[in-house]
Structure formats: structure tokens, C-alpha cells
Copies of this chain bind each other. A is one copy, B any other.
């Protein structure tokens, strides 16, 4: 649901006056609400209550492995089987590892910085400065990893099909310092875009000046649908292999937003050479992942259909929240010309676009009224949204009543900031 900016606002004074009064009333309510992070709500976590007493009496995997002892660097085969289909990675090329896919992305950067990737001429630290392409708006924690390791970030605009591939192809082809790209290919964070088949094909076959270019494919929302028609994306790993670039893709996923956030299992999938590379690195670092937790998950989820059924139950809790967000935005901001917003078909976020130069102002005013939002700019490298227009809304955690209050409050802040700006512009 989107609306267009209508620069000619009649009775602007009246609109501003009403917004000011509404904001005063909002501030007087002394709210304390939080729309910042994509955290599951307690009711979502209750869906996995059964995990908490598993594996119970059992302590052997299907192949007889004692899950209580060291070993098994690849992770439990039965859990890898379940997620192979869902993450579009052959089970033999899929590793089940620790409790966080963000950790795996961090560690892949570390191992590439401090050791030679397949196809690399040297360690990345010996080639500094290096750079990553960052589709924007994007995920702040990806950008934070680049910043932490001194990896330059080159923004690339997102389109309805995924990142602007003309820009991606040009940047990847012309500069050997460009070592990778961050992608959230399905129901992207924050704007809910799913990459088109053409985008996936172009990513797989494009020329890259760096022989060790990697696509960090953060498939965080692979099964996190919000409609009856799940979106599918093309198989990047297969497309890379077919295009003669088998080692280009690192696929990441986790059960953090399926079972328990921070107590789930994370996955890494890639070419045989990359899997061997990560295993060799992991072998120095660890004597194996938490296989009891992996068995717990395999017993609880059972199979890919079990995951899909579980995600339907998640959707039943999440969909009303996304509908609430859409309804309030439409009711309060529809026709004002002050905002556009996304209607995601999955994932965890809604992106709200406010008039250029207003996002920080909206977030600041909301905070002053007790509604905490993700900082404006967080969706961009270095926290800098050059248009100062993008606000990320995370509706999953609050209860419906709180969410309704927070969204109402947010729209008041958008009206106030927007009409103040128009008034300044009209003066």
C-alpha cells in the first residue's frame, strides 16, 4: 500500500496544528514501547515449548553417534537433511553449526581475512583496503561487520527485483578490491524484496575482477512467509556452479526465528571446496558443534514439512501484526502524501519512507514520546541514509495492543515532522 506525495497541501496550517495537538497528547501518555529489533514474541517462542524437554532419554543420532561427546564437525546428518531442501543446498554441502548465522558470516570474513579462500591469491588482510557491495536499504549487522573489519562499503540501490544489477555488475567487474556482496535474497531486511530469477542468474554469472569474490547469501527468511503463496527464489548455489563460478556463493540460514532466538542452529552451505575450507578452519577452532541441540531440533521439527507446518503457526501470530501496521499506516497516512511503505509477503520488517530529510526527526520525536524505533540510517552503511528517509519497523515483538499504540504514535510523528517541513518549505 503506497501513497504519492502531494506537494500542494491545502489547509497546511490546520494539518500542522492537528499534528501538534496529537503529538502533545501522545507525549502526555508516557508510553514505553519498542519497535526496534526483529525479535520473536513470547507467543512465537511458546510454539517451540516442546524443545525444552528434548531430547529427553535419547542421546544418539540416527547413525548411532553419541551426541553428548566431541566430534561431528559437519553437524547432525538428520538435521542437515531437513534444511537441505529448505535452504536449497544439497545435504552433503550443508553444515549444521552453532547458534547464530551472524557468527558464521563473521567467521567467514575472519577466515578470508586471515587465511586464503579457495581461488584467492592471498589473505584479504594482505590486500587491504578491500570492499563489499551493500544493497541499500539493508541489514545493519552486515554493515557493522564490514565496519568492524575496516572493509569499505559501497552502497547499491535495491529495486523490486533485488539489488540494481547493472550497478553490481559494473562495480564487481571493474575493481579487484571488491570482494563480496551482502544479500538477503528472500523477504529482504528491511524492505521485503525477494530476488527475481534474473537477478540470481546475473549474480551467478557476472564477471568479477576479484578471483575470490563471494556472495554472502543470508537466507534468513527462507520459510518465513506471511501469505498463502510462499515466494520461491532461484537456487543460487546451483546457478553459480552452472555458470562456472562454483565457489562464489556462501549460503547462510538459521532456526533463530523458527524455534528459539539464540538457542537454535545455524547453517552454512556452499560448494564442496568452500565447505572443505570452512571445515578445515573450524577444525582448528572447535571440537564440533552442539549436537545435542541439533538432535533436539531434528526430533522437534521432524522433516521439511514439519518446519513448514511450524511456520504456518508462526504466520498465524505474525500476520495480524503486519496487517495492523498496514491498516494504521493507511488510515493515518494514506492520502497525506507524507509516506510510502512496503507490504511484505514474508520476513520480519516493514519499511516506511518519509519525506526526504525527515526520518531522523521522526525517530527522535517518537523516542521523546516513548516509542523506540531502529535509528534512522541504520539501514545504510555507516548509519548514513543520504536521503534521511528510511525507517525500519519491526512489528513482531510487541503485543497487538502495544503495536497499535506504537504505530499510531509513529504516524503522529510522521505527520508532525512532515507538515513542519512543508510549512518551512512553503515559507
Contact = CB atoms under 8 A, between A and B. Distances in A.
A262 B284 contact: no
Interface of A: 37, 39-40, 42, 45, 48-49, 51-59, 66-72, 98-100, 102-103, 106-107, 110, 113-115, 125, 141, 144-145, 148-149, 256, 260-263, 281, 284-293
Contact of A114 (B48, B114, B290, B293): B114
A372 to B, nearest CB: 15
A58 B51 CA distance: 11
Contact of A66 (B42, B98, B149, B285): B42
Contact of A68 (B45, B54, B113, B115): B45
Nearest to A259: B68
Given A53-B56, A293-B263, A293-B293, A285 B103 contact: yes
Residue from A37, A71, A263 whose CB has the most chain B CB atoms within 10 Å: A263
A45 B59 contact: yes
Contacts of A58: 52
Residue from A51, A52, A125 whose CB has the most chain B CB atoms within 10 Å: A52
Given A98-B99, A261-B287, A290-B290, A40 B69 contact: yes
Contact of A70 (B68, B261, B290): B261
A145 B69 contact: no
Contacts of A292: 51-52, 260, 263
A85 B139 CA distance: 40
A55 B52 contact: yes
